[in-house]
């Protein structure tokens, strides 16, 4: 039994305005926009890129790419996010220490900004980013791209990076709340059975 057969997977279908020439071109394109981990010391709070659909840590080999008529890969986004209430006590402490060490009653705006950046870096070093992984199936026969999500944020992020990666324009075709609503489920299910297998 898989989540696909239980009807708990939603998806969005797109139609690119052109087909890739061959699998080598697809691999090269994926590699150019491959996922890169965020360094806690990096000023970036978010990283998005392509990974293998089954081994989501792999952004180089894409060993699971070819399945029957489908090209299978996934979009991974890692994001550090801290609320104001999470940052506040650490920032207040850092500012207090800075005032004492520098014998100050007031901290200039630019200095406050730099202190806050250092506080956030420390928080990032002691936490892990939120990870979102969304599988993609590109049907080489019909030239339809199946994105297994209907989240508006995911769809926008996916559309942007997919069009840049493959130098195509995407048209949204349909939204499906359940794989059971369409014909041909059996052609897709075996491909994703390993990814979404449940006990």
The per-residue pLDDT for range 96-109, each reduced to its tens digit, is: 999 999 999 999 99
Residue 191 confidence (pLDDT) above 70: no
The per-residue pLDDT for range 137-189, each reduced to its tens digit, is: 998 888 889 998 888 999 999 999 999 999 999 998 876 544 444 454 555 55
What span, in angstroms and rounded, lies between the C-alpha atoms of 165 and 159? 10
The per-residue pLDDT for range 50-68, each reduced to its tens digit, is: 999 888 898 888 888 888 8
Give the per-residue pLDDT at 181: 47
The whole-number average pLDDT for the span 36-60 is 89
- Which range, 5-14, 61-70, 127-136, has the best average confidence (pLDDT)? 127-136
CB 193 within 8 A of CB 6: no
Give the per-residue pLDDT at 22: 82
> In this structure, how many other beta carbons lie within 10 angstroms of the beta carbon of residue 93?
11
Per the listing, tokens 């949204």 go with 172
CB 75 within 8 A of CB 122: no
Element (H or E) spanning 42, and its range?
none
The whole-number average pLDDT for the span 18-23 is 83
CB 85 within 8 A of CB 79: no
Give the per-residue pLDDT at 21: 77
State residue 51 phi and psi, 5-degree precision: -140, 170
What span, in angstroms and rounded, lies between the C-alpha atoms of 59 and 135? 14
CB 136 within 8 A of CB 53: yes
Q: What is the pTM of this model?
A: 0.78
Give the per-residue pLDDT at 199: 33
């Amino acid at each position: 039994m898989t989540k696909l057969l239980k009807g708990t997977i939603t998806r969005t279908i797109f139609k690119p305005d052109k087909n890739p020439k061959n699998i080598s071109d697809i691999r090269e394109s994926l590699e150019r926009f491959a996922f890169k981990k965020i360094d806690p010391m990096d000023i970036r709070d978010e990283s998005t890129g392509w990974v293998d659909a089954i081994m989501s840590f792999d952004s180089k080999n894409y060993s699971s790419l070819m399945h029957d008529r489908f090209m299978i890969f996934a979009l991974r986004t890692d994001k550090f996010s801290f609320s104001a209430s999470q940052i506040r006590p650490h920032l207040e402490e850092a500012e207090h220490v800075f005032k004492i060490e520098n014998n100050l009653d007031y901290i200039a705006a630019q200095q406050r900004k730099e202190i806050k950046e250092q506080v956030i870096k420390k928080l990032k070093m002691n936490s892990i980013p939120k990870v979102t992984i969304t599988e993609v199936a590109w049907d080489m026969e019909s030239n339809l791209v199946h994105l297994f999500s209907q989240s508006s944020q995911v769809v926008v992020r996916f559309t942007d990076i997919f069009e840049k990666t493959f130098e195509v324009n995407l048209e949204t075709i349909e939204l499906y709340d359940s794989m059971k609503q369409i014909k041909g489920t059996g052609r897709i299910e075996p491909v994703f059975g390993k990814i979404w297998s449940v006990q």
